[in-house]
Amino acid sequence: MIMTYLEAIADGIRVEMQRDQSVFMIGEDIGTYGGAFRLTKGFLDEFGPHRVIDAPISESAIIGAAIGAALNGMRPVAEMQFMDFVTNGFNQLVTVAGTTAYRWSIPVPMVVRGPSGGGVGANPFHSRDSEAWFAHATGLKVVCPAFPDDAKGLMMASIRDNNPVVFFEHKGLYRKIKGEVPEGEHIVPLGRARTVRVGTHCSVICYGSAVHMALDAAAMLEQEGIDVEVVDIRTLVPFDENAVQESVKKTGRVVVAHEAVRTAGFGGEIAARIADHAFQWLDAPVKRVAAFDSPTPFAPTLEKAVLPNAEKIAHTIRNVCSF
């Protein structure tokens, strides 16, 4: 079935709620209103107010309630209306959810999900890519899908996981990206990368929106005789070390791309791991393409200048291949 990225995420949650009575949703305006992006439209009618819970505007309360429910055998899916505002529940998520399983040796099965990223003129308060914060916080799994089938499969796997998962949905992909999505049960295991384009000259290691930028860059460079491999890591934590190393061994050149800002972005971690474990196969330095170290501007021209894109990735690949 052809679905948008948004529809695939909703379908994954719906299938899990139909399968397992312990799965429920909680968030701001997700019931009667159907969510800020209409992802939960129809859920209230199908599952009722006890499983689709409209919460007050308090991310700390939403995440705290989800933690309590998870500790008591439920599997909550907590929505942040925009992932920027997860900062209001940061202590609950990082200090409580992320350490409780380790401290008490009990499962904390919960998903905190919501829209992230820029490129849609949503201003600095609704455009942040904050995945690196949670990759750094031990005890949390971090998921950043790029395609509808992965979005559904990774969502279902996240709901079934016994650890807290932070699930980033790029808002710019919600209705822009469509694809074939399996009906019913569809599980994509966490921690497995996906090579979405095979190539021999340079590997682009990326995730989320940057996957589509990398594919566009690869199509441009194909006309110039440069054969680009694109590896979508899909999950930051757990990280598929083997898939990245195998790609590096094959091409000998690497560009790491993500939409988040450059400094302390997860791309630095990927580059460091390549240096640690695959240095002997490199024929050129590892280069990164990321956003400038700036809040995301509201003005479209400035936003475009700050964020990465296919042209910037293509330019970096050319430089790496000519080294």
Q: Label residue 101 by pLDDT band (50, 70, 90).
A: confident
Asked if 2-180 and 194-321 have one fold, the answer is yes
Alpha helices in 194-307 (DSSP H): 209-222, 241-251, 266-277, 300-306
Q: How many CA atoms lie within 13 A of 158 on its CB side?
A: 31
pTM of the model: 0.97
What pLDDT does 49 receive? Answer: 97
The total number of residues written for the chain in this structure? 323
Cα-trace Rg, the chain: 19
What pLDDT does 280 receive? Answer: 97
Average pLDDT for 18-22: 98
What pLDDT does 22 receive? Answer: 98
Q: Is the backbone peptide bond immediately before 109 cis, with ω within 30 degrees of 0?
A: no
**C-alpha closest to that of 207 among 298, 306, 286, 135:** 135
**C-alpha closest to that of 267 among 188, 186, 208, 197:** 208
Average pLDDT for 270-275: 98
Average pLDDT for 112-122: 95
Catalytic residue, candidates 50, 126, 186, 201: 126
Q: How many CA atoms lie within 13 A of 95 on its CB side?
A: 8
What pLDDT does 169 receive? Answer: 98
Q: What is the pLDDT of residues 238-259, one digit of tens each?
A: 999 999 999 999 999 999 999 9
Domain ranges of the chain: 2-180, 194-321
Assigned CATH topology for domain 194-321 = Rossmann fold (3.40.50)
Q: What is the pLDDT of residues 41-65, one digit of tens each?
A: 999 999 999 999 999 999 999 999 9
Other C-beta atoms closer than 10 Å to the C-beta of 160 total 17
Q: Give the Cα separation of 260 and 112 in Å (integer).
A: 19
More confident residue, 101 or 184: 184
> In CATH, what class is 2-180?
alpha beta
Is the distance from CB of 197 to CB of 172 less than 8 angstroms?
no
CA distances from 204 to 50, 130, 190, 240 (A): 44, 21, 20, 14
Average pLDDT for 208-215: 98
- Buried b / exposed e along 285-305 (16+ C-beta atoms within 10 A): ebbbbbbeeeebbeeeeebee
- Buried b / exposed e along 74-111 (16+ C-beta atoms within 10 A): bbbbbbbbbbbbbebbbebbbebbbbbbeeeeebbbbb
209-222 and 310-321 are packed helices; what angle lies between their axes, rounded to 10 degrees?
Answer: 60
Question: Where in the chain does DSSP place strands (E)?
Answer: 2-4, 23-27, 52-54, 75-79, 111-116, 141-143, 165-170, 178-180, 194-197, 202-206, 228-232, 235-237, 254-261, 287-291
What's the angle, vertex CA 161, arms to CA 49 and CA 195, rounded to 5? Answer: 115
What is the average pLDDT value for the chain, to the nearest integer? 97
Query: CA quadruple 87, 162, 96, 55: dihedral positive or negative?
Result: positive
Q: Give the Cα separation of 50 and 275 in Å (integer).
A: 50
- Percentage of the chain with pLDDT > 70? 100
Clarify whether 126 is annotated catalytic: yes
What pLDDT does 7 receive? Answer: 98
What pLDDT does 12 receive? Answer: 98
Which tokens sit at 179?
């694809």
Q: What is the pLDDT of residues 161-196, one digit of tens each?
A: 999 999 999 999 999 999 999 999 999 999 999 999
